[in-house]
Amino acid sequence: MRIAFVAPLVTAIREPQLGGSQALLADIATGLAARAHEVTVFAASGSSIDGVEVVDTGIDPDALAATLFRADRGPTATPEAYDAFAAVYAMIDRFDVIHNHAYDVPAFELAPDGAVHTLHLPPTPDVAEALRPKRCVVCCVSDTQADAWSRVATVDAVLRNGVPVDRITFSDDPGDGALFAGRISPEKGAREALAIARRSGTPITMVGGAYDGSYVVDAPVMDPLPREKLWEVMATSKVCLCPVLWDEPFGLVAAEAQAAGTPVIAFRRGALPEVVVDGVTGYVVDDVDGAVRAIDIIDGIDRSACRRHAELHLNLERTLDAHERLYEQLA
């Protein structure tokens, strides 16, 4: 099957990835190509995915900086974004499936009828309005996200996110520190992660890219790491902290951590209760106080159980199966 993926254009798709949706797109494209599909990714200049044809669209991601997602306002539709996506869709021809992973309004409005759209963010009125007149296939990445979107738009399928478990290092011999991995932004709870670590007396490693110059944390932060290296850090961590302050659409870091055998302490927001099995692969809590209490008992979590849960329920292979089923139905 000939599959065209439209990537978010605000960043290049290459390691280290800017965010979870970029990493997921690279994994899906690689996985489907390995299953003998003809996969082409249309992406911003500077993109590269091993084993996958990537078309350099000539779009400079820096020119779209104003569209970078912020939880307090969502993506912004700018004239530059309209021009960029119009140019990209004009390049796409003679594919069996056109699958959009970008989240800007123009990516939905300008897509041809019959396109597949995976929604990577919580609902916003502008995207819902852009989807309403289109004859398209709308997909969500978790049941929780689908429930939220179904209140404002028609959701046709759930393509649950997954991680390449077989590539992720597993360790049953962790260190004594916590890990926070993700963009340094209010919705991801970087400051809350630091507060949890300090109040519990737990050393913490923080990895992530700065998103907003006005939001900083009072601790050293490592630049984003290539995923293979990040997985090694995960595998040697005692716990992964996900104290998010928004309705997380899925929680890819939480899934990766469990694949590494590392239990997760997550706030009860969005789809994280779907990803983390409370009391089995970590703890789902309501606030910083709850997270501090959970760290005291985190050693009671069986790291092998975390890995098994990832293998059975969070595996990329299940995600690829779901994509193939959907594409076959469309064909």
pLDDT above 70: residue 174: yes
pLDDT score of 75: 66
Pair 252, 272: CB distance under 8 Å? no
The residues with which 38 forms a beta bridge, in sequence order, are 2
The class (CATH top level) of 165-313 is: alpha beta
pLDDT interval class at 15 (50, 70, 90): very high
Angle between helix axes 20-34 and 316-330 (nearest 10 degrees) is 70
| Ramachandran angles phi, psi of 86, nearest 5° | -60, -40
Pair 240, 181: CB distance under 8 Å? yes
The class (CATH top level) of 2-162+316-330 is: alpha beta
For 25-37, what is each residue's pLDDT tens digit?
A: 999 999 999 999 9
Mean pLDDT to the nearest integer, 100-129: 96
Mean pLDDT to the nearest integer, 194-202: 98
Cis-peptide into 123, omega within 30 deg: no
What is the DSSP annotation of 272-299?
A: HHHHS-BTTTEEEESSHHHHHHHHHTGG
Domain ranges of the chain: 2-162+316-330, 165-313
Q: Average the pLDDT over each of 71-85, 96-110, 237-251, 266-280 and give the range with the smallest value.
A: 71-85
Mean pLDDT to the nearest integer, 147-165: 97
Pair 273, 296: CB distance under 8 Å? no
287 C-beta neighbours (distance < 10 Å), count:
12
2-162+316-330 with 165-313: one CATH topology?
Answer: yes
